[in-house]
Amino acid sequence: MPYVWTMTDAEAPGEPGASRLSPEGWELRLWPHRSLPAGGFVAFIAATAWMLALPLLAVLGSPVLWGLLPFLMLALGGVWLGIARSNRDARLCEVLRLGPAQIALARHDPGRAEPRCWQANPHWVRATIHHAGGPVPDYLTLSGGGREVELGAFLAPEERVRLHEELVARLAALR
């Protein structure tokens, strides 16, 4: 799962047998799936360049080489840019803090200096999953404080359903 729940340090109960759904305070961090780890980028580009260069061996020394080379370089550049865009988008992060007095959501977008923030009283917050009609299947939203915000739109549908169940349980424990 590309998310993790942690108990907030400042409000963590000191007893080792404390409930996992303790109303003391929780933090949820969500991030998108990484299609390719950073270490695999170089190996993938090298393998792709090698496979694209293999057909060129047959036409070395002929003018056909110069006709094929721009298209192969364009293909390699497209793969490079696609993976670089995927890595940039993977820096997206959402942080949800649940506490007895306040719930706060901060979305850290790549290329944006300040995070987008939302906060509300947890007593009035409702987690809703929209099975149809949202921009993605099983669209998860939080409503409260006069606004409705999305949560984890980059997750897989089954991950959003599971997150919804966990979120509803933690919100119930806060009340």
pLDDT tens across the length of the chain (175 residues): 688 898 875 444 444 444 444 446 889 999 888 777 777 888 899 999 999 999 888 898 899 999 999 999 999 999 999 888 888 877 889 999 998 889 999 999 888 889 999 999 988 899 999 988 888 888 999 998 889 999 988 889 999 999 999 999 998 888 7
Model confidence, pTM = 0.70
Same domain, 74 and 115: no
Same domain, 68 and 104: no
Partners of 139 in beta bridges: 130
Same domain, 78 and 103: no
Report how far apart the first and last C-alpha atoms of the chain are (Å, whole number).
26
Same domain, 19 and 48: no
Same domain, 100 and 162: yes
